[in-house]
Homo-oligomer: A and B are copies of this chain.
């Protein structure tokens, strides 16, 4: 949906330096953009492209404006302003309501007239779906599932029985919601499976990335609060609760009964141990291991970052002797001070 620079400036609340009548077709990256495209600079790594870009206009911060010879949309938060412009130029694609004849729909299902049910999807009995919701091909929706309106379930998604999904929820392919949690007890010889009796509740405006899994509660529910954004291949264990507007990057694993606060950001490939709490507004950097509760907002990290293999090997040897070496040091220090 093309627009003029003037219309975009108004929409994204940025200050335009340039021709408000200039037609913009869409957004593009600085190094890819041609005439008619709007670009942006939000990460200083890409500053060198500012000089050579052929974009018709660039969203950027005031401090970067002097380096830019095209039209500018100056913003205090260029990434957010770019996001708004991209959304304005690319409104969600409409679909034609339809139930594909190959879809299998069980009895007592509520599907309003504005919905789409894709080919070879299976909708279990007693399911209720809100209007304008799109369920793509190959999805399996269990019994008594409730899905709100304006949701988009892309394809090949599995929702087990009794799951509840809010409004405007987006779920990407391969996602499994409501599989049994990992509840087992050892009777001395073997593991007894513990019935997983709870459910999963996903609130409004949540987005869930491809191949992510969210287990049903053992007792009580696993909860994903409003506005949470979860990337691909994230594992959420039973009875974990993720607070509103928290963002979780790819490959993160939450064990069971974790309580994550509001507005947290969990870096990719991190692992969170069971039964711990993370306060509101906590940022965890990538590949961190969280094995105890975090009680205060702030930025937290763990792990070892990469070096050449030879140096790493030597340092690893020392790490494995660390306590012994430190004790020798304290002894020496003590002897000298005496």
| Among listed A60-68, A107-115, A203-211, interface-contacting one | A203-211
| Given A140-B155, A210-B215, A307-B301: A191 and B227 interface contact (C-beta under 8 Å) | yes
A233 CB within 8 Å of chain B: yes
How far, in Å, is A80 (CB) from chain B's closest CB?
5
B300/A309 in contact, CB under 8 A: yes
| Given A300-B306, A302-B307, A322-B318: A249 and B207 interface contact (C-beta under 8 Å) | no
How far, in Å, is A47 (CB) from chain B's closest CB?
13
A237 CB within 8 Å of chain B: yes
Q: Which of A44-70 contact B (CB under 8 A)?
A: 45
Residues of B within 8 A of A184 (CB): 83, 229, 247
| Given A104-B119, A305-B302, A315-B322: A155 and B158 interface contact (C-beta under 8 Å) | yes
| Given A83-B194, A289-B286: A209 and B179 interface contact (C-beta under 8 Å) | yes
A118 CB within 8 Å of chain B: yes
Residues of B within 8 A of A321 (CB): 315, 326
How far, in Å, is A86 (CB) from chain B's closest CB?
5
> Which bracket fits the contact residues of A?
35 or more
Q: How many copies does the complex hold?
A: 3
Most buried by B among A29, A250, A336: A250
| Given A210-B176, A235-B233, A325-B326: A319 and B319 interface contact (C-beta under 8 Å) | yes
| Given A172-B179, A173-B176, A232-B179: A315 and B323 interface contact (C-beta under 8 Å) | yes
A224 CB within 8 Å of chain B: no
A20 CB within 8 Å of chain B: no
| Among listed A3-11, A126-134, A269-277, interface-contacting one | A269-277
A86/B306 in contact, CB under 8 A: no
B306/A289 in contact, CB under 8 A: yes
Q: Which of A217-271 contact B (CB under 8 A)?
A: 219-220, 227, 229, 231-233, 235, 237, 245, 247, 249-251, 253, 255, 268-269, 271
How many Å lie between the Cα of A314 and that of B322 in the bound state?
A: 8
A312 CB within 8 Å of chain B: yes
Residues of B within 8 A of A189 (CB): 245
Residues of B within 8 A of A140 (CB): 118, 136-138, 155-156, 173
A147 CB within 8 Å of chain B: no
How many Å lie between the Cα of A235 and that of B212 in the bound state?
A: 11
Most buried by B among A268, A288, A306: A306
Q: Which of A283-334 contact B (CB under 8 A)?
A: 284-292, 294, 298-323, 325-326, 328-329, 332-333
**Chain A residues with a Cβ under 8 A of chain B:** 26-29, 32, 43, 45, 77, 79-80, 82-84, 86-87, 90, 100, 102, 104, 118-120, 122, 136-138, 140, 142, 154-156, 158, 160, 170, 172-174, 176, 179-180, 182-187, 189-195, 197, 205, 207, 209-211, 213, 215, 219-220, 227, 229, 231-233, 235, 237, 245, 247, 249-251, 253, 255, 268-269, 271, 273, 275, 284-292, 294, 298-323, 325-326, 328-329, 332-333, 335-336
A-B pairs with lowest CB-CB distance, top 9: A83-B185, A269-B271, A314-B323, A158-B173, A251-B253, A299-B309, A179-B210, A104-B119, A90-B195
